[in-house]
Amino acid sequence: MLKVNNLKKNYGSFQLDCSLQVKEGMITGFLGRNGSGKTTTIKAILGLIFPDQGEIEFLGRPINQLTGHDKEKLGVVLSDSSFSRVMNCKDVLAILKRSYRNFDEPMFRHFVDQQGLTWDKKFENFSTGMQAKLKVITAISHKAQFLIMDEPTSGLDVVAREEILDLLREYLDEYPQTSILISSHIATDLEGICDDFYLIDRGKIIMYEEMDQLLSSYGILKFRQEELDQIDQTHIIKIDQTNYGYCCLTNQRQFYLENYPQVIIEKASVDDLIKLMVGGQK
């Protein structure tokens, strides 16, 4: 569905060097700290910035060869985009009806009403959460086959973030073959929705994994210095020193459960993974 190969962009103090792909019907998370390169990658995919090097394909063809019909299959949410402050939901409805051949007005109306958005209120009077919801509704209401979402839940409280994800889940229930590339620095938002994920740091992809594999096989080991020296470190990916000793990331949790019952071993979350992969030592 989407292939990015050796994408490079040089901003002097920041260099992007990224490869990734999103398969048909998959929801791929794009994780990393703020400033790690997520937005730069997404803007290059969308043709909003010009890369110095690399190849980007959508639907099996280079992005500069996409037709208008191809582009209608895309739905996009950008973290730094917004609506005109004097517009309202009725204005957006009128624009979308003229812009997309596959625009689904009943779907748009359903989600606007479901999310409690006011039809006549100007966007300058919308809360941050209301604006975020409308951006997602706008992206999906023309039956987009591929969604690209850059930090769609950024700046929202936990309730509003979950409402955004529920909205996406409802859309995916109706159109299960939809592919999504969704970025976030709030990893827990993506833990329950993504099939796989890429972790980017300082412009480079440092990890790719399937979400099920992370949740089933990865673990966090905690022990003191004297215990670390006695542990088989073959399956240790990263080590971080803490106030009480050491915290280690492994992708073979079961191995340590069976062989080192005295060691504290916890399941790894996406947040744990990011913290150790970005900050830990090999």
The three-point CA angle 263-268-272 to 5° equals 110
The three-point CA angle 70-149-146 to 5° equals 30
> How far is residue 145's CA from residue 140's CA, in Å, rounded to a whole number?
9
Q: What integer pLDDT is reported at residue 40 of this predicted model? A: 92
Q: What integer pLDDT is reported at residue 59 of this predicted model? A: 83
DSSP label at residue 118:
-
| Mean pLDDT for the stretch of residues 178-199 | 86
Q: Give start and end residues of each alpha helix (H) in the chain.
A: 38-45, 68-71, 89-99, 105-114, 128-140, 158-174, 188-191, 211-217, 225-228, 253-259, 270-279
Task: Say whether pLDDT at 15 is over 80.
Answer: yes
Give the pTM. 0.89
Are 56 and 63 in contact by the 8 Å Cβ rule? The answer is yes
Task: Say whether pLDDT at 129 is over 70.
Answer: yes
| Mean pLDDT for the stretch of residues 79-107 | 91
| Mean pLDDT for the stretch of residues 109-138 | 92
Q: What integer pLDDT is reported at residue 281 of this predicted model? A: 58
282 — pLDDT class (breaks 50, 70, 90):
low
Task: Say whether pLDDT at 280 is over 60.
Answer: no
266-279 pLDDT, tens digit per residue, is: 988 888 888 888 87
Q: What is Dmax (Cα atoms) for the chain?
A: 69
Question: 202 in the Ramachandran plot: left (φ > 0), alpha (ψ -120 to 50) or beta?
Answer: left
- Please give the torsion angle defined by the CA atoms of residues 231, 234, 240 and 244, in that order, rounded to the nearest 10 degrees: -10
Pick 2-212's CATH classification: 3.20.20.70, 3.40.50.10860, 3.40.50.300, 3.40.50.410. Answer: 3.40.50.300
Task: Say whether pLDDT at 128 is over 90.
Answer: no
